Structure 1
Amino acid sequence: MTFRLKFLLPALLSLAAMSSAFAQSSVSGINDAVSAYRAGDASAAWPVFEKAAAEGDVKSKRYLAYIIFDGNAPREAGMDFFDGTALLKEAAIAGDYTALIRLEDLRLQRLAHSPTLADMIAVERARAESGDPVAAWRLAARFETGDGVAASPADEAKWLEIAAEAETDRFPKAPEAAYRLCMLNALDGETRDPDAARRWCALAADNGHAGAAVVLKRLALLQN
């Protein structure tokens, strides 16, 4: 029995080491890292996300932020909650809507590392300037109500144009954005332009906006 144990124990230890190495190496891609993170194995997920984030992968930046906020970042990484917020900003600016939503939620919590309203507007502006209709829609709403910016029909119209020109498959609110542009150009003194109003209402109506079709008929009657 002693003879058997003498050879069995090293074999078991070797097998355990091989299993551990296999588990480590199996987390090799981003999808594997996401699965590991969701299973609670942040230590296995971190190096994969860290490498991918350094290479510019947006999703990995967001997941690194998650791990930091969970308090599971490796000590040697030397990253704190402020670094997590910075990673979320980078991901949001690069077009990660989930990161944008998480940032807004974090802002509302008013924590020491929360982004400010000015930070959120800067992210939205960067995205809108690159042609993102969602960010443009959010900015237009801010300029309509004066949320963090000075209310301005001209700026509202500027960002609505980006949202209105998007394909409806990409941005379902595009017809509504076109309709609002129609109304701004039809009624507002600062942005009044009857020709532009007709053009935007026509676009909205073509994309199924019932209200735009009604306004378009009224504009035609006024023209006659």
Structure 2
Amino acid sequence: MNLCLFDLDDTLIPLDSDHAWGEFVTRLGWVDAAEFRRRNDEFFETYKAGKLDVHAYIEFATQPLREHSAEETAAAHRQFMAEVITPRMHDSARQLVQSHVDQGDLVALVTATNEFVTAPIAQAFGIADLIAVRLERGPGGTITGRIDGVPSYREGKVTRVEQWLAGRGLRWSDFERTSVYSDSTNDLPLLERATHPVATNPSPALQAIAGERGWRILNLFK
């Protein structure tokens, strides 16, 4: 059996779903537009620099979810999918995912974006297994603003994948071939565990590293 792990943002879709969700709730009028956009942009820049305080970000980003009912947030996400995500899901990305599914690979989406934002996106790509930032839930399933367990960010992605594999009675060494697709140097710890790392729509920094190491470079959206 082979293993295939996909990053999401700027890898399978040509945008950052976390940042885009922040822009979307701003457009809905759920937040103070100027202040929320300022902080959302600041967090996004620290993420791209590999210096994100993921716990502080989750507390910030889930505020709109904590202030609206489950019914309201579910309806908003359906609108987000229809207006923002689905139109940006390219056939090239869908076909890439399907090719690994058709080969019988064990496929997972591994993302630093939280599970609320990404679960419907994984489903839309036909990916059954999602490894995302888990949101801690309080009484009645309410979102607390904290992270449950290890965040799937940078080295945490490796930890979470290992936990997921262990739950299936598996280890890295059980796979003849491990493919990892990502656009970002944030995912170097995961890419370095792959037998077949693929720099996908890579940032300039990752493209340079991929060139030095002889990794495959794939541009899905050109």
State the TM-score, normalized to the length of structure 1.
0.24
Q: Tell which has more relative contact order, 1 or 2 (C-alpha 8 A, sep 6+).
A: 2
- Per the normalisation by structure 2, the TM-score is 0.24
Higher helix share: 1
- Decide which structure has the larger Cα Rg and report it: 1
* More strand by percentage: 2
